[in-house]
Amino acid sequence: MNHQYDTVRPVNWHNEQLHLLDQRKLPHEQTIMMLEQVADVTKAIKDMVVRGAPAIGITAAYGVVLAARTAYAKSNTNWQTLIEKDLQQLARARPTAVNLVWALKQMQVKFSAINGDPVPILLEEAKRIHQEDINANYRMGELGTELLPNNCRVLTHCNAGALATGGYGTALGVIRSGYAAGKITEVYADETRPWLQGSRLTAWELLQDNIPVTLSVEGAAASLMQRKMIDWVIVGSDRITANGDVANKIGTYGLAILARQHGVKFMVVAPTSTVDMSLTDGSKVEIENRATEEVLTLDGKNIAAIGAKAWNPAFDITPAGLVDFIVTEKGVVKPQSSGMDALGL
């Protein structure tokens, strides 16, 4: 299958190491971190070296390989017990992204069948999880593109691209496919404060693939829609509950309200590993609150009045009723009518 506009990979296994593209330094530096210890993987996830729910899950899977390798070198009979704490710390690194725990469970399923060195079997499973994510993104790109009209102008939020996944992207996978098909004519990206994933990451990776992009501040989205410059909003997700409520980067809920007000369609693109059928609705999702320094400072310098406090939730909940379509690799759902039951998960 020929896929245009597909050059960025944030996570790689190379020379018995986990290689992560340090997304904190983009777009100005392309630095690869080479990790051999699971504690460094946990820290990299916490510190936003790697981010985006699918990419976090893939990274955690490789983290299990590193943990098992170290533990097996210490005790070839007791390695599973030795890595329990490592797995717990990995699971808590970013609590909202359900793919993290999903990937850890996928890896743990393999434990019972392992005799001897665990690395070959676990590495094969991590690579399978990685490749399946890329394949799912290709499929979602096709399914999402089918929903789009010709001459479509889209707005996206945060970074749901190759950098947030194994490759190709969820929301940006649809945008890549839609652009390749000649359906998408304009791409707008929110800056996405406070980490500026839109301006630093989404703009960077689209430009890597020669897809033109226009940045705007979040506060400009309403005016873009009012001026009839946007046809669809396309975003990713970090967790989708059974009724179709969507947890995604803070600001997504506001975009959904604006889209409904202005007659703009709203699409969420995420693999089924992001769907958490154990939670009935979005009120049950644990929302990660991050350090106030992310809001009060920029590039290490104070930008706010000294003494001001900050509220910094990383995610918000978009009710299913505001979402027109949820696109997964297993099919397209209209969440307001059926929740996620239509997928048979």
* 3-class secondary structure per residue, the chain: CCCCCCCCCCEEEECCEEEEECCCCCCCCCCEEEECCHHHHHHHHHCCCCCCHHHHHHHHHHHHHHHHHHHHHHCCCCHHHHCHHHHHHHHCCCCCCHHHHHHHHHHHHCHHHCCCCCHHHHHHHHHHHHHHHHHHHHHHHHHHHHHCCCCEEEEECCCCEHHHCCCCECHHHHHHHHHHCCCEEEEEEECCCCCCHHHHHHHHHHHHCCCCCEEECHHHHHHHHHCCCCCEEEECCCEEECCCCEEEECCHHHHHHHHHHHCCEEEEECCHHHEECCCCCHHHCCCCECCCHHHHEECCEECCCCCCCCCCECEEEECHHHCCEEEECCEEECHHHHCCHHHCC
Pairing of strands 152-156, 232-235: parallel
Q: What is the pLDDT of residue 157?
A: 98
- What are the structural domains of the chain? 11-134 (1.20.120.420), 140-343 (3.40.50.10470)
Distance CA 171, CA 161 (A): 6
The pLDDT, as a whole number, for residue 7 is 87
Task: Give pLDDT tens digits along the chain (345 positions).
Answer: 456 788 899 999 999 999 999 999 999 999 999 999 999 999 999 999 999 999 999 999 999 999 999 999 998 889 999 999 999 999 999 988 889 999 999 999 999 989 999 999 999 999 999 999 999 999 999 999 999 999 999 999 999 999 999 999 999 999 999 999 999 999 999 999 999 999 999 999 999 999 999 999 999 999 999 999 999 999 999 999 999 999 999 999 999 999 999 999 999 999 999 999 999 999 999 999 999 999 999 988 999 999 999 999 999 999 999 999 999 999 999 999 889 998 988
Name 58's Cβ contacts closer than 8 Å, sequence gap at least 6. Answer: 11, 103, 126, 129, 130, 133, 165, 166
Q: Are 48 and 234 a contacting pair, CB within 8 Å? A: no
Q: Which one, of 254, 316, 250, lies nearest residue 283 by Cα?
A: 316
Q: Is 238 a catalytic residue?
A: yes
Query: Which pLDDT does position 169 carry in this prediction?
Result: 97
pLDDT score recorded for residue 250: 98
Q: What is the pLDDT of residue 5?
A: 85
Q: What is the pTM of this model?
A: 0.93
- From the candidates 190, 238, 276, 324, give the one annotated as an active-site residue: 238
Matching residue, tokens 């992310």: 294
